[in-house]
């Protein structure tokens, strides 16, 4: 089968290789282990990738570039409407070349894919990476995508994060991971060495956008230090908010205690996990945040927002949840963490045991089993030589 993936993720072509942000590209590599040919219909920029982007490693992955449109502003939404006929035409042309179609939601390409994919193939599968139960202020287009995926119109399985009341039979609770068995072995060694002593090293990893609430983390570090906590903070990532956040750290008088290494390679990300004590990711909305799962595998204490699957991930004494933008709650959690190092070792061990259950290899087997059962066709993982390097180009 030739698989077509519809995605809103920005891709990059540079020096004969295809790149995208790390968690996504490593997951798509796993899909490419199940199909002889994988085409990705998504926006693509011919330029050097951002720091958090990593190359696809499978040689059977190629990009079918799509028009880049959309955004949060009124002007961007008008532009999306004007571009819609061209986007639909391009996606239809791509779907004509596919045997099976994988639609990734929510997103504008996801919505078009939900509406059109069942017309082009009997072998369809969707991934819904957002909050399946919705959230306050959610765009109507996102609610529409969930409604369509729940309906009889969508003829294939839908993978979602978590288990929900009255879940339709074709809606399947799933997980994702971006750590290989080798990286999980590294995580086990790091978690076994974990000790908590001043200064408390807090970490954020992700896109520097307003929805991630990194400004609240910086304010919590400033208040905590003013109240006597010995705190350091590392903010890893790139985004539209970076300059503003660096200025905020200077305005708060904590610039000497906060570092902004920018976008870094995944191996460097793992090094930050090894060197840190606490991961804070208190976003406005989350599905299954991979950064929390990764950090837990390395024995970090996770602090997340009470959104999506985060409460389930960090429940049973594995971490803490706070309401988004609740500065008082976040400061109180940092006080609790810093005030009881002995209890942290037990929490760290529980977090590590939970996070180490998930690997990329197990994800591949779970996907293979799901597709074989849902489509009633055999799916056989492709055999690949070790150390393989992918060279992708536009097909």
CA atoms of 221 and 218, how far apart (whole Å): 5
Q: What local confidence, expressed as pLDDT, does residue 71 receive?
A: 64
Q: Which residues contact 7 (CB under 8 A, 6 or more apart)?
A: 24, 40, 41, 42, 104, 107, 109, 110
CA atoms of 207 and 354, how far apart (whole Å): 25
DSSP class per residue in 261-279: EES--HHHHHHHHHH-SEE
Q: What local confidence, expressed as pLDDT, does residue 384 receive?
A: 57
Q: Let me know: does 350 contact 297? Beta carbons within 8 Å.
A: no
| Helix (H/G/I), strand (E/B), else coil: 30 | helix
Exposure b/e, 71-83, CB count within 10 A at least 16 = b: eeeeeebeebeeb
Which residue segments constitute the domains of the chain, with CATH numbers given? Answer: 2-177+359-375 (3.40.50.2000), 181-355 (3.40.50.2000)
Q: Which residues of the chain have pLDDT under 70?
A: 51, 70-74, 76-77, 176-178, 383-395
Q: What local confidence, expressed as pLDDT, does residue 386 receive?
A: 45
Give the predicted TM-score (pTM) of the model: 0.77
| Helix (H/G/I), strand (E/B), else coil: 124 | strand
Q: Let me know: does 26 contact 124? Beta carbons within 8 Å.
A: no
Q: What share of the chain is helix, strand, coil (3-state, %, to 5)?
A: 40, 20, 35
Q: What local confidence, expressed as pLDDT, does residue 136 receive?
A: 77
Q: What local confidence, expressed as pLDDT, does residue 103 receive?
A: 98
């Amino acid at each position: 089968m030739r698989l077509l993936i519809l995605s809103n993720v920005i891709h990059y072509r540079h020096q004969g290789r295809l790149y995208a942000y790390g968690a996504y590209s490593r997951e798509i590599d796993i899909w490419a282990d199940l199909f002889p040919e994988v085409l990705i219909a998504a926006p693509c920029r011919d330029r050097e990738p951002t720091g958090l982007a990593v190359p696809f490693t499978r040689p059977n992955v190629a990009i079918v570039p799509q028009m880049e449109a959309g955004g949060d502003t009124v002007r961007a939404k008008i532009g999306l409407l004007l571009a819609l006929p061209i986007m639909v035409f391009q996606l239809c042309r791509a779907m004509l070349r596919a045997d099976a179609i994988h639609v990734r939601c929510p997103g504008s390409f996801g919505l078009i894919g939900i509406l059109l994919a069942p017309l082009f193939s009997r072998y369809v599968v969707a991934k819904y990476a957002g909050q399946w139960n919705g959230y306050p202020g959610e765009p109507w287009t996102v609610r529409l995508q969930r409604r369509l995926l729940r309906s009889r119109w969508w003829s294939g399985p839908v993978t979602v994060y978590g288990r929900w009341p009255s879940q339709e039979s074709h809606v399947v609770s799933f997980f994702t991971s971006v750590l290989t068995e080798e990286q999980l072995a590294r995580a086990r060694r790091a978690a076994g060495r974990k000790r908590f002593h001043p200064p408390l090293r807090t970490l954020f990893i992700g896109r520097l956008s307003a929805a991630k609430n990194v400004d609240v983390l910086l304010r919590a570090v400033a208040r905590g230090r003013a109240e006597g906590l010995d705190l350091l903070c590392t903010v890893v990532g790139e985004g539209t908010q970076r300059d503003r956040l660096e200025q905020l750290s200077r305005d708060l008088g904590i610039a000497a205690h906060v570092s902004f290494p920018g976008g870094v390679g995944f191996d460097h990300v793992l090094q930050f996990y090894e060197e840190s004590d606490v991961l804070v990711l208190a976003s406005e909305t989350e599905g299954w945040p991979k950064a929390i799962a990764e950090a837990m595998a390395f024995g970090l204490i996770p602090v997340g927002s009470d959104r999506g699957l985060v409460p389930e991930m960090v429940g049973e004494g594995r971490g803490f949840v706070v309401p988004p933008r609740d500065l008082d709650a976040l400061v109180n959690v940092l006080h609790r963490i810093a005030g009881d190092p002995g209890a942290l070792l037990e929490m760290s061990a529980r977090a590590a045991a939970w996070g180490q259950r998930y690997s990329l290899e197990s994800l591949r087997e779970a996907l293979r089993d799901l597709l074989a059962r849902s489509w009633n066709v055999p799916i056989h993982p492709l055999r690949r030589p070790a150390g393989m390097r992918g060279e992708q180009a536009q097909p």
